[in-house]
């Protein structure tokens, strides 16, 4: 995890210094424990390690992950609470998603933990309640207005490694138009 963060930080320093400066310091053990208590889950060890390098972004420079903000522990809880309140109010009663294999058909599930946000209600989530065939902690997509749910990676470590490799290979670049790192095809 640390090697990938170091590589991404070096790239950001050369290509998008504002993005590097927008990263928060590491999450403390207390912040992680408070998040787990509020969510009622135990976060995967790799995700804890991920947060112990940077506790998300400050939110001033634009989206780090495919033009989506990397959420801090506080912002994870805020986004999760929005979805949990909608779930508890019955907003998703009778509505199913169109998931890939290994993902539940719920529109949203309380054990889907958002760790990015694109500002429009879409997230990458840790799936801590996979369907049969899924992997606990897999990274999935969650769109607020589309039922598609895809497995992006078996966990945060392979997801992050693949993303950093793509950035270093020139497949992502900072875009003034989008205000964050985006697929090079959109710049």
pLDDT digits (tens, 9 = 90+) for 159-171: 999 999 999 999 9
pLDDT score of 187 more than 80: no
- pTM confidence score: 0.96
Residue keyed to tokens 């420079």: 61
pLDDT at res. 20 = 97
**The total number of residues written for the chain in this structure:** 187
Residue keyed to tokens 């790799």: 46
pLDDT (average), residues 61-66: 94
Q: State the Cα–Cα distance between residues 1 and 98, nearest whole angstrom.
A: 32
Q: State the Cα–Cα distance between residues 77 and 32, nearest whole angstrom.
A: 11
Within 8 A by CB and 6+ apart from 166, the residues are 172
CATH number for the domain harbouring residue 148: 3.40.1580.10
pLDDT at res. 17 = 97
When divided into structural domains, the chain yields a total of 1
- Name which of 117, 138, 121 is nearest 129 in CA terms: 138
65: left (phi over 0), alpha (psi -120 to 50) or beta: beta
119: left (phi over 0), alpha (psi -120 to 50) or beta: left
Residue 152's domain comprises 2-186
pLDDT band at 106 (very low <50, low <70, confident <90, very high): very high
pLDDT band at 69 (very low <50, low <70, confident <90, very high): very high
Structure tokens at 28: 């403390």
pLDDT at res. 161 = 98
């Amino acid at each position: 995890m640390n090697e990938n963060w170091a590589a991404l930080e070096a790239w950001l320093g050369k290509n998008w210094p504002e993005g590097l400066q927008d990263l928060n310091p590491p999450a403390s053990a207390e912040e992680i424990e408070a998040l787990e208590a509020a969510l009622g889950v135990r976060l995967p060890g790799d995700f804890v390690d991920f947060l112990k390098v940077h506790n998300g972004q400050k939110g001033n420079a634009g989206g780090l992950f495919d033009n989506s903000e990397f959420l801090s522990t506080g912002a994870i809880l805020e986004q999760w609470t929005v979805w949990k309140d909608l779930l508890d109010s019955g907003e998703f009663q009778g509505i199913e998603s169109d998931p890939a294999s290994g993902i539940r058909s719920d529109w949203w599930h309380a054990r889907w933990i958002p760790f990015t946000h694109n500002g429009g209600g879409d997230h990458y989530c840790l799936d801590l309640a996979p369907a049969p065939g899924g992997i606990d902690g897999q990274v999935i997509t969650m769109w607020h207005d589309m039922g598609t749910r895809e497995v992006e990676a078996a966990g945060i470590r392979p997801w992050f490694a693949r993303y950093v490799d793509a950035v270093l290979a020139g497949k992502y670049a900072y875009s003034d138009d989008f205000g964050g790192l985006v697929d090079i095809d959109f710049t």
